[in-house]
Amino acid sequence: MSARYLAVHLPAFRLERCGYDADDIVALIAEEKSAMRLITLTPGARAAGLQRGMTVAQARSLVPDVQLDPLDLAEEARDRGELLRVLERLSDRVQAMGEQDFVAEVSRTSTALGGEPGVVERAVELAGGLGHRVSVAITDDPLAALALARYTPEAREVVPAGAMADALAPLPVTALQPTADLATSLRALGISCLGELAELDAASVSGRFGVEGAQIHRIASGSAALTTESVVAWVGDAMPRVSAHLAGATSSLQLAFVLPGLLAQLCTALADRDLAVVHLRCTLNLERPPPVTFGVRVGRPTRDVDTLERLVRTRLDGLRLTAPVEEWVIEVGEAVPEQGWQPGLTDRAEATEPLPDVLARLTDALGEAAVFAAEPVDTWRPEASWRPVKLRLVPPLRRPDPPSDDPVAVQERWETSLRWARPTQLLKTPEPIQVRVERGRPVSVLLEKGWAHVEACEGPECLSGEWWRPQLAWERSYWVVRIAGRSAWIFENDTLWFLHGWF
């Protein structure tokens, strides 16, 4: 089945949500490059001579009566989220694209909504219900649909399957958002519209302009890069794999629309055998080898499509492709019997992502060595009192309470009684500092910006250890001092002072 995509463009989203009309002379401002500047303007403000990037002073000197309102990113994000939820009535695959665009795959839902013309009218109706004017287009590729919606004011366009090249031909090359270098190169060749680009030889464009040039040429020529057809197979009768043939997808947006369908089929196959994913392996077979392969580790075994989609898309965001993608293969590298997950037993209202999934995502992105737990080491020296070990989410062992006269218990009771027991940020090696002392107490500390007054201090806490190893024996007097609004852990050793951590 050929995929079909709806693009919804809101040309004045930021200003309409604030209640302004196109004729109002209004701009939204925010700090940019160390000054308050105009970020978004109404057509009326542009007609008056104002431009994006002007400072507030420049704008008022040119148009004294211009209305300038602060840009509220938090409220704007909430309104955009509400609009996304409304558009999900059209499809279960909707993506927000930047500040004022949305794209949805409507291949499977258009019939229930009165066909593609019915989808267009419904999109206009839903956005209008929230006070927004929109331009809408449906065609064979999400990037092409976005170009038609953005560059055709008040568009209500449904491009028949296979007619995408003719619809795109009059649009400028910039409609497909090439990089500045590519746009300059095409302009130097006298190519100003997508129709002229489509007439060029595909191999010549790919050889001269690389992956990006090939992508734009493919779309301008009317080639749909996506399909909704996929195949599920079992490898060795143990682990499932799913694959989809693509006609040269080159952007994360194109891959993002294929992903939910692939994962849904994969999870259905897992459910048939009551299995849950532990590790996925993704392979992007390119037009030119070698393929791109990456793994996705799951913190808690699951076959939830939304969870898997979020983890895979995180890895996709950092990929750089050297050629268009011809096939996408996702296979289960490891699975375990599904244990189930009972919601509602504890309050998870604040847990937006389970800790195991967070740790798995960080490990995939940063590497095994970057995510670890701290294991105590049997030494009194603070900077050597722990070592990194592999992080395991297991409950701590329950140990019997030690005798009240146990030296360790005595020390722990002393530490617990302190207001600040140990610093949150412990330096690997204590750093020498200069400290002024009066009546045996620190009163000021030399920082990079000069001497800082000690606002409060507690101590001393006298620590020592390893006397049985003369070369490592130490004795220190620790203080917790409040300087420049922060709490530091410092110590004195043989009249020398050191910074050892921050709270």
Q: Residue 407 pLDDT > 90, yes or no?
A: no
Tokens of 145: 């649909």
Average pLDDT of the residues in 215-219: 85
CA atoms within 13 A on the CB side of 55: 6
pLDDT digits over 286-339, tens only?
888 888 898 888 878 888 888 898 888 888 877 777 788 888 899 998 888 876
pLDDT at 404 over 70: no
How much is the pLDDT for 225?
A: 56
Same domain, 314 and 190: no
Measured between alpha carbons, how far is 149 from 13 in angstroms, rounded to an integer?
14
Same domain, 240 and 312: yes
Task: Sheet with 231-235: list strands edge to edge.
Answer: 231-235, 239-249, 325-337, 275-286, 292-302
Q: Is residue 84 part of a domain?
A: yes
Range of the domain at 186: 164-220
The answer to whether residue 448 is domain-embedded is yes
Same domain, yes or no: 237 and 172: no
Q: How confident is the model at residue 396 (pLDDT cuts 50, 70, 90)?
A: very low
Read off the pLDDT band of 170 (50, 70, 90). Answer: very high
**Three-state secondary structure of 252-271:** HHHHHHHHHHHHHHHHHHHH
Per residue in 480-490, is it b (16+ CB within 10 Å) or e — as a string?
bbbbeeebbbb
Domain with 11 in it: what CATH number? 3.40.1170.60
So what's the pLDDT on residue 280? 92
In this prediction, residues 421-438 reach a mean pLDDT of: 84
What is the predicted pLDDT for the residue at 400? Answer: 54
Asked if residue 276 is part of any domain, the answer here is yes
Segment 345-359 mean pLDDT: 58
Same domain, 79 and 185: no
End-of-domain residue from the set 337, 359, 374: 337
Same domain for 205 and 138, yes or no, is: no
Q: Is 123 inside any structural domain?
A: yes
**3-class state of residue 142 by DSSP:** helix
Return the HEC string of 103-139: EEECCCCCHHHCHHHHHHHHHHHHHHHCCCCCEEEEE
Q: Nearest Cα to 230, choosing from 250, 253, 246, 248?
A: 246
Residues 179 and 152 in one domain: no
- Whether residue 346 is contained in a domain is answered as no
Task: Enumerate residues 6+ apart whose C-beta is below 8 A from 207.
Answer: none
Q: How many domains does the chain have?
A: 4
Residue type at 338? E
- Of residues 415 and 139, which shows the higher confidence score? 139
Per-residue pLDDT of 223-262, as tens digits, reads 765 555 667 777 666 788 888 887 667 677 778 777 888 8
Do 99 and 195 lie in one domain? The reply is: no
pTM more than 0.95: no
Domain boundary among 277, 302, 337: 337
| 392 vs 243, higher pLDDT | 243
Residue pair 248/325 in contact (Cβ under 8 Å)? The answer is: yes
Residue 136 has pLDDT above 90, yes or no: yes
- Return contacts of 174-179, CB within 8 angstroms, 24+ apart: 175/147, 175/148, 175/150, 175/151, 176/143, 176/144, 176/147, 176/216, 176/219, 176/220, 177/143, 177/147, 178/212, 178/216, 179/212
* Judgement on whether residues 154 and 17 belong to the same structural domain of the protein: yes
Binning pLDDT at 50, 70 and 90, where does residue 171 land?
A: very high
Cα dihedral sign, 213-219-223-229: positive
Average pLDDT, the chain: 82
Domain boundary, last residue among 313, 337, 361: 337
Query: For helices 202-220 and 180-188, what crossing angle results, to 10°?
Result: 110
- In this structure, are 97 and 56 located in the same domain? yes
Does 147 lie in the same domain as 103?
yes
* Gyration radius of the chain's alpha carbons: 31
Q: What is the pLDDT of residue 226?
A: 59
Confidence check: pLDDT of 459 > 90 = no
Q: Residue 347: what pLDDT? A: 45
Collapsing DSSP to helix, strand or coil, 151 comes out as helix
CA neighbor of 365 nearest in space, from 296, 301, 308:
296
Nearest alpha-carbon partner for 6 in 138, 181, 108: 138
Q: What percent of the chain has pLDDT over 90?
A: 14
* Single-letter code of the amino acid located at 11: P
Q: Are strands 386-389 and 373-376 parallel, antiparallel or unpaired?
A: antiparallel
Residues 200, 127 share a domain: no
Query: Is 362 within a domain?
Result: no
The band of 55, judged by pLDDT with boundaries at 50, 70 and 90, is: very high
CB 147 within 8 A of CB 176: yes
Q: Are 35 and 261 in contact (CB under 8 A)?
A: no
Q: What is the mean pLDDT of residues 368-384?
A: 79
> Nearest CA to 97 among 149, 37, 27?
149
Higher pLDDT pick, 257 / 476: 476
Cβ contact 168:219 at 8 Å: yes
User: Is 124 or 364 the better-scoring residue by pLDDT?
Assistant: 124
Q: Is residue 372 part of a domain?
A: no
pLDDT of residue 348: 47
Residue 422 clears pLDDT 80, i.e. is over it: no
* Amino acid of residue 324: P
398, pLDDT greater than 50: no
Lowest mean pLDDT among 115-119, 156-160, 249-253, 473-477: 249-253
**CATH number of the domain to which 299 belongs:** 3.30.1490.100
Across 404-421, average pLDDT: 64
Residues 128 and 178 in one domain: no
Q: Is residue 359 part of a domain?
A: no
Please spell the DSSP secondary structure of 209-277, one letter per residue: HHHHHHHHHHHHTT----BS--EEEEETTTEEEEEEEEEEE-SHHHHHHHHHHHHHHHHHHHHHTTEEE
User: If you average pLDDT over residues 388-403, what whole number do you get?
Assistant: 61
> Is residue 474 a contact partner of residue 465, using CB atoms and an 8 Å limit?
yes
Residue 8 has a pLDDT of 92
Pair 295, 279: CB distance under 8 Å? yes
Q: What is the mean pLDDT of residues 118-134?
A: 89
In the chain, helix, strand, coil percent, each to 5? Answer: 30, 35, 35
Calculate the dihedral angle through the C-alpha atoms of 78, 84, 88, 93, rounding to the nearest 10 degrees. Answer: -130
Mean pLDDT, rounded, for 395-419? 60
